[in-house]
Every structure is written in structure tokens, then in C-alpha cells.
Structure 1
Amino acid sequence: VLTAICVAFCGIMGFVGHIIPHACRMALGTDHRLMMPASIVLGAMLMLFADLAARTVLSPMELPVGAITAMIGTPIFAYMLIKRGRRYDG
């Protein structure tokens, strides 16, 4: 029950928390001294951008932030899955 409550409140951040560190690892390598601050900054920037877009795209109405993060994160997630499949083929 506690897990369901946490996912209900933090589901959006959990999705960003899975995508951003992997994207930073692909861009910066595995050095945690660079990857950790970059993950923090990029995750915050993504959430700010998603919130801004959710509030301004349909100005009188407001889109769910989860829809914006899904539109941004799904292609990145698909790319990571495809890249992983190619890496383990040979």
C-alpha cells in the first residue's frame, strides 16, 4: 500500500529519475563526479520545462505534467532499449 501511495505522488519524478541518469551516462560516461551533478541539473531542468509547457500549451487549460514528461522521455527510453539490443547482439 505504501508503494502505491508513493508511486501515486511521485510517479512523474520516478520516470524522470530513470531516464535522466541513463541519458547523462550515455553523454558523459561513467564518471560519477560529472554524472551526479549533471543528472540533478538536467532532471530539474526537464521538470521545469515540462511544467512550463504543461501550463502554457493550452493556455486556459493545463495539461498533466506526466503527459509532457512521457512525450519527452519515451523516445529517449526507446532509443536506450534499441541501443542496448544492438550492443548485446554480437
Structure 2
Amino acid sequence: MAKIEIYTTPTCPYCHAAKSLLNEKGAEFDEITVLDPSLREAMTQRANGRRTVPQIFIDDAHIGGYDDIAALDRRGGLDPLLAQ
């Protein structure tokens, strides 16, 4: 199974939606809460300057935020990534 990391904050509705989508797929993921400024800075560097949450990585590939992963799923591209 793929290694999935998702950077979130507790009150972000898009974070909840992304986690829900991954849960519906039966995917296990590591959640990194970025309330600490150093964690958010690490996320920003890793996500090519993107500061918004969620930021999602599958096998170290940057997928993007919720809109990005939802679009990937609609195109049929998410399931093959999760199955790796």
C-alpha cells in the first residue's frame, strides 16, 4: 500500500473532506497537524511554497490539496496511486 501523508489543521473543512475521501478508499495515512509554525514551514517547503492545508503526499509525490485529490479521483487516477 502507498505511503500517504496529509498535513492538516483541526478546524479545516477541506482537511476533513480529504481525510474522508481517503477513509472511503480504505487508505491509511499519517496526519501531520501544522499548528506549530516549524511544522507549517516544513510543509510549505515540501509543497513548493503552498501554505494552505491540506497538503497531500502519496509516496513522497506532492498531490496538492483537497481539490487536487478530488479531481485526481474523478479522473480515475487516485486508485492506482493508492494501490502501489
TM-score normalised to the size of structure 1?
A: 0.34
Which structure has the highest helix share of the two? Answer: 1
Structure with greater strand share of residues: 2
Which structure exhibits the higher relative contact order, with contacts defined as CA atoms closer than 8 Å and separated by 6 or more residues? Answer: 2
Compute the TM-score of the two structures, normalised by the length of structure 2: 0.36
